[in-house]
Amino acid sequence: MKRPRLLRDPIDALKAARYRWLLRRWLRNAEEVWRAYRSGLAMPTLQFRSGLSLAHGPDDAPVFLLFEIFANGCYRSALRNARGGTIVDIGANIGVFTLQALARPDISVHAYEPHPRTAATLRRNVAANDRDGRVTVFEEAVGHARGSRRLNAGGPSLTSSLYAEPGASGVMVSCVGLDAVVERAGGAVSLIKIDAEGAEVDILAGASREVLRAIPRLVLECHDWLVVDATARVAGVLRGAGFRVGVRAHGRATLVTANR
């Protein structure tokens, strides 16, 4: 019998043990999820020990998002240090960061996800977990300005992008600028998280100076392989708006934090 690739050598075996331990730490149905993850079978809804549940579709990556956002805590510091008010989740996908943010009882979330199928899953997760009505879902992209844009979405939902390869399959989506996003929040934005697969440069470039100066804290993923010099351009805009900027590697991407 051929062993799963994850278990073929000692290094892979150690990785497998760590992944399984993390699943057990976070999930009530860890063994069921582990069997599906290891064998490529249909993944069940993730049932968190905290009481959260995470539904997903065949094009989503729920286990990757669990590891990245909950286990590795890529946004944890920004979320912990945010004041009360409205957190904006740009590129919400199926809602993992949005659900993490609900642990803060003093905040509400505006979650932006443009792809119709992914936004439907996001709404499903919000309906299952947001018992206080603190999340508002906007089925829109955020970019330079209001309009319609083509969202390239031929692969996994995490890679849906306004800046993917020419010829990729896609769908037309509505787009708004950052000024409108902040206005909808009533000016009480405490944190903006952006993971928009290349749109991060346009989002900041289209924002007015007044809006940028009204935002206390941002955390962004930058994708230099989609938009040339995205990290440097984003950092430059943020420093020009008076932020203290931090930059660190985040897998293939770069994580940029901006604080007052």
pLDDT digits 0-9 by tens, 114-127: 999 999 999 999 99
**CA 257, 94, 202, 104 torsion: positive or negative?**
negative
Sign of the CA dihedral with 42 first, then 223, 170, and 74 last: positive
Q: Hey, which CATH number is domain 75-259, 3.40.50.720, 3.40.50.150, 3.40.470.10, 3.30.70.20?
A: 3.40.50.150
Q: How confident is the model at residue 65 (pLDDT cuts 50, 70, 90)?
A: very high
**pLDDT category, 112, cuts 50, 70, 90?**
very high
Name which of 5-9, 12-16, 200-204, 225-229 the model is least confident about.
5-9
pLDDT in the model for residue 55: 98
pLDDT confidence of residue 162: 74
pTM: 0.91
**Mean pLDDT computed over every residue of the chain:** 90
**CA dist., res. 101 & res. 76, Å (int):** 9
Q: pLDDT tens digit string along 78-88?
A: 999 999 999 99
- What's 5's DSSP letter? G
135 closest CA partner among 173, 97, 161: 97
**pLDDT at residue 1 in the model:** 36
pLDDT in tens, 20-40: 999 999 999 999 999 999 888
Beta bridge partners of 175: 141, 147
Residue 167 in this model has a pLDDT that exceeds 70: no
pLDDT score, position 165: 63
Q: How far apart are the C-alpha atoms of 151 and 164, rounded to whole Å? A: 8
- What pLDDT is stored for residue 95 in this prediction? 98
Q: pLDDT at residue 229 above 60?
A: yes
3-state class of 99 per DSSP? helix
| Sequence spans of domains, the chain | 75-259
